Amino acid sequence: MEMKKPGGTPLDVVCVGVICADIMVRTVDRLPERGKLALVDELSMHIGGCAANAAIDLARLGAGTAILGRIGADGFGSFLSAALEHEGVDTRGLKRSDTPSSASVVSIGSDAERSILHCLGANGEFCYGDIDRSVLTGSGIVFIAGTFLMPSFDGPGTAALLRDAKAGGALCCMDTAWDASGQWIKKIGGCLELLDWFMPSYEEAAALSGEQEPERIAAVFAREGAANVVIKLGADGCYVKPSGEKGFSVAAYSGVSVVDTSGAGDAFCAGFLMGLTKGWDPHRCAKLANAAGTHCIMAVGTTTGIRPLSEILTFMDSK
């Protein structure tokens, strides 16, 4: 697979999906009584959303990266566009909407776990018709990020884009979010057969498959047509089932200070995709994915902790 850099040429990875502004608040172990005020240690605004996080992480790792999605013509939208451009992400494919940008309030507890209040905003309008095909042309990987949070794109729209991407020779990959509507695999069943890599978290994978063991979960996705599967297991690392091969687990890295788990799954996906652009085998891709996720959780914010590839590899190879 030929991988090229931006600047009018095809890209390594095109990230498609959720873009939002994250208002990060820490430390929040309980909410104040109704009508009352409570003090917190830190409050800051960051770019977030599965596609935006992965695009920035990939750009920091050195991949030529673009993003396709929808933002509002508002202050949040201006912040999001500027933040992506600052990170070197190609933003030609961003569409502006009269609907406000998607945004979340993320409360981070003393245990580093987060709770999220989310407004779909412009992401709820993003659809197949928004796709700028000039960005896709010749690109190496198309990554759908945030499935189940894009009601106008999930399902048939996603499948249409995946067919376009495969026709253009791209590797097709997809991650999911939590499906609050409860449709799960009924919503995306027609997409799995178009995927080269399906990359859900364990909680989402279990809900999608109706199974609990990673091996059995991966088998369900294989029956639905997904060529290769990687399941994110959080502190337990990941489970990888390559096509035609025996599945295996890769342990997470230990001995680091966990500050904020926001964006860790997106960083994992970015690391795995970066490995694919290098032509690495799935085991080494999984090690890089775990290392990227580990760096993410060591800083507040969804992308703050991601370092250049050379630094991540130094960390990875020293463990």
Residues 6+ apart with CB under 8 A from 307: 60, 295
Mean pLDDT of 261-270: 94
Task: Give the pLDDT band of residue 7 (cuts 50, 70, 90).
Answer: very low
- 78, 54 Cβ separation under 8 angstroms: no
Q: Which residue has the tokens 């779909």?
A: 120
- 66, 14 Cβ separation under 8 angstroms: yes
Q: Which one, of 310, 247, 257, 319, lies nearest residue 290 by Cα?
A: 319
Six-digit token pair at 4? 């090229």
| C-beta neighbour count of 76 within 10 angstroms | 22
pLDDT tens-digit readout, 161-190: 999 999 999 999 999 999 989 999 999 989
pLDDT tens-digit readout, 61-110: 999 999 999 999 999 999 999 999 999 999 999 999 999 999 999 898 99
Q: Which residue has the tokens 């994110």?
A: 232
Alpha-carbon span 218 to 235, nearest angstrom: 19
Full DSSP string of 215-239: HHHHHHHHHTT-SEEEEE-GGG-EE
Q: Which residue has the tokens 């979340």?
A: 104
Strand ranges in 56-170 using DSSP code E only, listed in sequence order: 65-72, 90-97, 103-108, 114-119, 141-147
